[in-house]
């Protein structure tokens, strides 16, 4: 398999996953609007908190910021 066909396959898989995910979310929101909204907000809040914790635990901020990549 060439690199270009592998890349096209990966893009097609990503688009299929995104389409399935969005269709599932719309279906859930249509049938269960309140609980879907509550769970969505809770998941997004959890991701935000974990991102802040990861940044705090990283340790690069303790030494004065970024010093290279």
pLDDT tens, per residue, the chain with 69 residues:
678 899 999 999 999 999 999 999 999 999 999 999 999 999 999 999 999 999 989 876 555 555 555
The pTM of the full predicted model, rounded to 2 decimals, is 0.60
- Taking the C-alpha atoms of residue 9 and residue 15, their distance in angstroms, rounded to an integer, is 10
Q: What integer pLDDT is reported at residue 28 of this predicted model? A: 94
Q: Where are the domains of the chain?
A: 1-31, 32-69
Q: What integer pLDDT is reported at residue 29 of this predicted model? A: 94
Longest dimension (CA), the chain: 50
What is the DSSP code string of 2-68? Answer: -HHHHHHHHHHHHHHHHHHHHHHHHHHHHH-HHHHHHHHHHHHHHHHHHHHHHHHHH-GGGGTS---
CB atoms within 10 A of CB 36: 16
């Amino acid at each position: 398999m060439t690199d270009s066909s592998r890349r096209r396959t990966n893009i097609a898989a990503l688009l299929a996953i995104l389409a399935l995910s969005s269709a599932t979310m719309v279906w859930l929101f249509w049938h269960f609007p309140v609980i879907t909204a509550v769970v969505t907000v809770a998941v997004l809040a959890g991701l935000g908190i974990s991102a802040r914790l990861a940044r705090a635990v990283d340790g690069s901020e303790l030494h004065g910021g970024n010093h290279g990549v």
